[in-house]
């Protein structure tokens, strides 16, 4: 079986981490499956793949519908006798459809990793309901529910939870947070990982920090946010300066292997207003780091409030701040939360389980045509 994985994303995020984990597991556990990745030339994913053992190709993507990228899809399908094209982001769907018009490609499978509603525009609906998309893998049941509102053939939809590998974990980082920022031993490090995009809503993060540091006068908390800067970063930095929070929150920008920092966090914080199901939660489960999060997307499918983590409504910075303080005023909860989360991970959310379910989807398409 020959699978072409198509990514048209220029940055590095959870979606690209999913492709990497899936292909590594396929190589290890299913050597009969040949995985080839196509990614954006000179993007962060390209740079990451250069240091991996995975087979990949690149194509230029200067505009959203760059014909060179579509042509490359067709060429790779012909060269490797591709059986299934696994599409990993919405931009890649459009490019693969263009390639199909030129080359008459094999069937598609699409991984939907966010819970954004599919826009009811004619071209968007055409794209998501394209007949060669035989299955749509949703990262959570909530993602599946939202997608179903726009997908004509609901039987295409299925849920396969992402997972994390239980091997090759590392806590190697370019610096130690406490040492770099000269933090006292009693200071609690609250980590946040994600790119500066609308879905992550870091405006809520800054409101949380302001509430804890300025309003509640709790100077024993330090926040570190790791992820790519974007056109949203300038306003975030401005807010931090206006609220005099420079000594209490650091925005590091992109750091390679960001999840390696998780063992240095006393807790992971998620302030998103929209999610599929962030991979960073699984990483935190593995490292036994407690999670405090907004209750969006599929997060409540793996975190139960006050059972194995703490949840708050989206945009509710006051509740998030209270939950952070509550957790560290009741430290006995941390061991309970993290042990339950770790057990959940081992039983349900591993890369091997995710990959086995994905292979079944591939086999179903090839044997039944759907």
136 and 225 housed in the same domain: no
The reply to whether 124 and 183 lie within a common domain is no
CA end-to-end distance (rounded Å), the chain? 16
CA dist 161 and 154 (Å) reads: 18
Domain shared by 228 and 159, yes or no: no
Tell me, rounded to whole angstroms, the distance of Cα 173 from its chain centroid: 20
In a domain, 327, yes or no: yes
- Do both 306 and 182 map to the same domain? yes
Give pLDDT, residue 369: 60
- 239 CB contacts (<8 Å, ≥6 apart)? 203, 206
- Extract the residue ranges of the chain whose pLDDT is less than 70: 369-370
279: Cα within 13 Å, side-chain hemisphere: 24
Please give the pLDDT value at position 17: 87
* Residue 221, CA distances (Å) to 188, 210, 325 in order: 5, 11, 9
Given this model, what pLDDT does residue 370 score? 61
Tokens read off for 193: 């990982």
Domain ranges, residue 194: 177-348
241 and 207 share one domain = yes
226 and 117 assigned to the same domain: no
pLDDT of residue 115: 87
Q: What is the pLDDT of residues 228-270, one digit of tens each?
A: 999 999 999 999 999 999 999 999 999 988 999 999 999 999 9
**What is the reported pLDDT for 118?**
92
Sign of CA dihedral 248, 254, 258, 261: negative
- Predicted confidence at residue 165, as pLDDT, reads 86
Q: Cα–Cα distance between 295 and 270 in angstroms, integer?
A: 9
How many structural domains compose the chain? 2
Give the sign of the dihedral formed by CA 359, CA 33, CA 168, CA 276: negative
């Amino acid at each position: 079986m020959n699978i072409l994985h198509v990514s048209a994303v220029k940055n590095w995020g959870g979606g690209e981490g999913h492709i990497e984990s899936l292909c590594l597991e396929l190589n290890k556990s299913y050597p009969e499956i040949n995985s080839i990745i196509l990614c954006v030339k000179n993007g962060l994913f390209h740079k990451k793949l250069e240091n991996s053992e995975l087979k990949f190709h690149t194509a230029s993507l200067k505009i959203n519908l760059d014909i060179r990228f579509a042509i490359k899809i067709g060429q790779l399908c012909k060269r490797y006798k591709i059986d299934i094209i696994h599409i990993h982001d919405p931009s890649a769907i459009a490019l693969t459809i263009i390639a199909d018009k030129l080359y008459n490609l094999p069937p598609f499978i699409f991984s939907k990793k966010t819970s954004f509603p599919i826009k009811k525009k004619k071209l968007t609906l055409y794209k998501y309901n394209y007949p060669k998309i035989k299955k749509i893998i949703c990262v959570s049941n909530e993602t599946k529910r939202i997608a179903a509102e726009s997908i004509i053939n609901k039987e295409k939809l299925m849920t396969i939870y992402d997972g994390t590998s239980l091997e090759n974990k590392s806590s190697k980082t370019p610096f130690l947070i406490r040492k770099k920022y000269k933090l006292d031993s009693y200071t609690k490090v609250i980590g946040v990982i994600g790119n500066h995009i609308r879905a992550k809503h870091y405006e809520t993060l800054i409101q949380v920090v302001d509430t804890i540091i300025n309003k509640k006068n709790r100077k024993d908390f330090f926040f570190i946010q790791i992820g790519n800067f974007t056109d949203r970063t300038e306003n975030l930095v401005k807010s931090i300066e206006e609220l005099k929070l420079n000594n209490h929150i650091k925005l590091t920008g992109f750091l390679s292997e960001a999840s390696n920092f998780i063992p240095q966090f006393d807790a992971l914080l998620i302030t998103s207003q929209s999610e599929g199901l962030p991979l960073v939660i699984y990483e935190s489960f593995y490292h036994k780091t407690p999670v405090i999060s907004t209750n969006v997307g599929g997060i409540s499918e793996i975190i139960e409030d006050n059972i194995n983590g703490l949840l708050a409504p989206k945009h509710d910075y006051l509740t998030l701040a209270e939950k952070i303080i509550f957790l560290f005023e009741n430290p006995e909860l941390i061991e309970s939360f993290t042990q339950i989360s770790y057990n959940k991970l081992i039983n349900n959310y591993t890369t091997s389980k995710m990959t086995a379910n994905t292979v079944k989807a591939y086999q179903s398409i090839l044997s039944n045509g759907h």
